[in-house]
Chain A
Amino acid sequence: MSPNKLALALLAVSCVAWGSEPNAARQKELVHLVRQDCGSCHGMSLKGGLGPALLPENLRDKPAEGLTATIYYGRPGTPMPPWKQFMSEAEAAWIVDKLMTAFPE
């Protein structure tokens, strides 16, 4: 990837993350979903279970787009299911952004 394209791609990702930040009520729903329902596999405190830990130190070196796609489309052949029925891609990107920094309680 050329540096230009890379910059564009990064911009696109940060636009998804910033451009369409879910509103406060929706953020609350998403946090509840992650803690409770993702928590059944990743642990309520996100330290891992049947699925891997989703703490910043576990995700730091992984590209955000890839993680967003994992949430949105799932990972076939593993228990990680697709969540696209329940959230937009932008919302999945917001979750990844929060997971990589500090996930709200």
Chain B
Amino acid sequence: MRLLLSLFLVLLLNACAGPQLRGTGDLGLIIERSSGHVTLVNTSSRQPYARIAGLGDLSHASAVYSRDGRYAFIFGRDGGLTKIDLLEAKIVKRVIQSGNAIGGSISQDGRIVVAQNYSPGGIKAFDAETLELLSEVPAEYAPGKFSKVVGLADTAGNKFAYALFEGGEIRVTDFSDPKQPKTQRFPAGSQPYDGLVTPDGRYFLAGLFGEDGVAMLDLWQPEKGARKILEKYGRGEEKLPVFKMPHLRGWSVAQGKAYLPAIGRHEVLVVDVATWKEVGRIPVRGQPVFVMARPDGRQIWVNFAFPDNGKIDVIDTLAGKVVHNMEPGKGILHMEFAPRGENVWLSVRDDNKVVIYNTENFTKQGEIAADSPSGIFFTSRAVRIGF
């Protein structure tokens, strides 16, 4: 009887006392690039639940998550770094950290958020709790010359790997003592345009624009230096113009193979990750921008640069070829898989909506209105290396 009574009391208290408890594993956000908003979404109900204003210029904005998936750190083009609370649906803190930023990452232990900047070129480390500046590392590659930073990725031991576009190098900065960072430099090749770290955190890859090939650094044996893979994949043929740079973050390793966008060729390159040798290339309908694996690795979804940015090609990794084509709308900028991949969310910039497709049978499951949507980021990123 007493047990029942106390149970009743607990229920009563829960009902009156404050907010309902809730986890964050099925939440996410959509960047609305031209109006400085983010829309918060629930991937279980496939519905939006809140909208937050006042985030500045969000063209090319990206987000990373705190370990508990509660807070998102959003890096805006205008150098704004905004921390938002997904449960209370509000901005917790916002700082303008540079003139022109391109993205950022969060450390292995979740305590440090690092922003990568175009101008002034370099990286800056912030306390994830307070957004207080801890230290900065300018991307000075020759006396008085600063480079744009691309491809920043978190790696083990609170280290961050990134590349310098003008400088042509890969760097690894160790923030284990966040106020006294230590940086190692590795010559990489001509004009690295983006980078990524493999899901196990071992390899950092930087795609090169100025030459055919990809620079790779083994982070377990950095003393061996960066080497080139996929060298001369263009075989000296004339390159097609690239109307938008591919993005490597969110890239794909599936079944022991990596799938990478070619530059200036309408192909996805397939690389064996044991030998890092090219094992195939898959023709697609444009210059690939994102080449992303469904979480189980069975499918790779590819979107494209202007003027083919209304198309999506789906590669089946078992068949090794494109098995499905679609045109879901005008200006497909980004895609994000539900945490276990049963559906994919595509942002359709010019149609002002996000569309949701079932990945097994390609039927449309819903759509969400959003003002010029670009990036879509789910909290499942919180637990992945390199996201």
Instruction: Name A's B-contacting residues (CB within 8 A).
Output: 36-37, 39-41, 43-45, 47-50, 74, 77, 79, 81-82, 86
Contact = CB atoms under 8 A, between A and B. Distances in A.
B244 A49 contact: no
Contact of B245 (A36, A41, A48): A41
B100 A49 contact: yes
Contacts of B209: 79
A44 B57 contact: yes
| Interface of B: prevailing SS | loop
**What are the 5 tightest A-B residue pairs by CB atom distance, in nearest-first order?**
A44-B59, A81-B241, A37-B306, A40-B244, A81-B243
Of A41, A45, A47, A82, most B-chain CB atoms within 10 Å: A47
Contact of A50 (B34, B165, B243): B165
B242 to A, nearest CB: 6
B189 to A, nearest CB: 14
Contact of A36 (B102, B119, B241, B331): B331
B353 interface: no
Contact of A86 (B78, B118, B244, B307): B307
Contacts of B243: 37, 81
B59 A43 contact: yes
| Interface of A: prevailing SS | loop
A74 B239 CA distance: 13
Contacts of A81: 241-243
A25 to B, nearest CB: 16
B193 interface: yes
A36 B100 contact: no
Contacts of A41: 244-245
Given A45-B59, A50-B165, 19 more contacts: A37-B243, A39-B59, A40-B245, A41-B244, A41-B245, A43-B59, A43-B100, A44-B77, A45-B77, A47-B57, A47-B78, A48-B119, A49-B77, A50-B118, A50-B193, A79-B193, A79-B242, A79-B245, A86-B307
Nearest to B101: A49
B57 A43 contact: yes
Given A43-B60, A49-B100, A50-B193, A36 B349 contact: yes
B33 interface: yes
